[in-house]
Every structure is written in structure tokens, then in C-alpha cells.
Structure 1
């Protein structure tokens, strides 16, 4: 991962500005192969703050080109941070809203762990066979059972309030 370049402070009057370090070339390579309404994008290298824009641009171009199913081969990605995760989540949401799908395939163990810890693994692995919920009446939320501590905090008249004289441990 390449560290982001920091802004340089202005030099005091009369002194030359220090030389700026050369900006590191992106360590991410992108290859795209299309078949009808599908695209396979292979990312090779690191996906971080300095290269996430390439992920966004590549996936946005697929949507602009009318690609419905975007498969992303992650097997050659050596690093992916939250910048990359955000790019994939955004692209997945936009693809899904347009009736398409984004699927990540073969992420390495650290990237898979990132997706698991953030609860985004399922979102990123939708398949074209996924049945979208039918439009219809909204379901009422499932009422969760409250913990005994929460029940003790319930006020009078609250349906979850413990009954008078009930023993709580």
C-alpha cells in the first residue's frame, strides 16, 4: 500500500520550496472482458485510497455501457482497504438499483475477512438468480424480545413492563 501524499507547507519567504516526492504510480491494473450483457473485470494489485477511483471508474463504465452483470475477479488483489470496500458497495448498490448485479469472486483471505466483518459479503455476492422481493404491502417489523435489563427499565403502561409483584433475577 502506498501512503497518501501529504500536502506540503508553504516555505518561508525567501527560501526555495522543498522538492515534492514523485507521486507513486497506481499499483492497480484493470482488465475487462465483455460477453453480451456481462463483463468480467480483473483487478491486479492493491486497492486503497490512491487506486479506489480506478475501481469506481471501471465499474461505472460498465453500467454506462449497459452491462447488467459485472463479475469482479479479486484473486489477484493483494490488498483492499475500506476505500475499495466503499467503491464496491457503491457500485453494487447502483447496479442493483438499475436491475443488474455485481459479484466479487475469489477475494483473498484478508479481503474476505474485511467483507465479513463489515457485513457486506452477502451484498457483494448477489447472483442473477437472486429473487428480488415482490412489490406489495410492507411487512410489519418483527418484534424483538427485550432483555431482562431493558424490561426492568420499561415505564408504567409499557406493554413490555414487568407485571407488579413479578420476580426478576
Structure 2
């Protein structure tokens, strides 16, 4: 059984087979973590990504990870949070597709240790509760296919939220794993 870790550390200071990077659909330097990755990786990443096909929301692409502590980057385009309006359900489904696409691509490539940020919860402004539920649903379902899945959160508050969601919906407890029994 693979491990799923929730931590609060700089994701760029960690080692793994691949880092999941929120991306722009044209795989160019974006904002937030994407900007940090491109700044550190440099022109080699820009050149490689220019050869990859456009990446629609919910899909994923893989590249090398020059000048980083990981071997690969898995780029995925996350949806913008729409404040829970009539398009909110579509955005939530697309966020889940990001995780599913990343995990499928990692399986294809034989990547066993993955690092994730809180996809969608940065510059795209998904509330951490929603981002955590979508992320953990996908990661818990795929956990046995990988040796380690790590979600590295940018703040202790975000980490606490993800741990709370994990405990409520996914962790076994003394009531046989039924989250409703402990509510």
C-alpha cells in the first residue's frame, strides 16, 4: 500500500519522480507555483514545453524538470473558481479531472513518487475544503498504484484544512471508517 502524505513545506525543496505543476494551457510561465518552476527551470523548460501540444483544462502533459529536484514535471491546467455560481459544478468536476489525468499519465510513465501542490487552491482560488475533497478523493483511490503521493501545502492553515477533510471523509476511525458515525 502506497503512502499519502500531507505536509507543509516548500514543494520545490522536495525530491520525487515528478512534481505536479499548475499550468497555462499553452504551457508557458503562469502565476504562483508555475512562475516559480519556470524561473528555476529556465530556458530548457520553455523550449521543451513549446514542443508539447496545448493542454486543455483537466488534462495533463509531462516534461523534463531541468534544475529541479524531481525528474519530471506533470503540467495540468486547473479551472478558475467561479464562486460557486451556476458553473461551479463544472469547475469542481474539471479539478477532479486534473488529478485523474495526472495520475493516469504518471502510471503510464511508471512514475511512483509524486509531489502535488493544492491544485486549484492557489491563484485559481478554489476554497481549500473543495480542493482538498477533490484531490483526496482521487489520491486515496489511486494510493495503492504509487509508492508515495505527497501533497505539500503552502500554509499551516491549508494543511489543517486538508487534514480535517481527510479525517472526515477518508480516514478509518473507531466506527469502522464510517465518517457519519463520528459526526
Which of the pair is proportionally richer in helix?
Answer: 2
Computing the radius of gyration from Cα coordinates, the structure with the larger value is: 1
Higher relative contact order (CA 8 A, sep 6+): 2
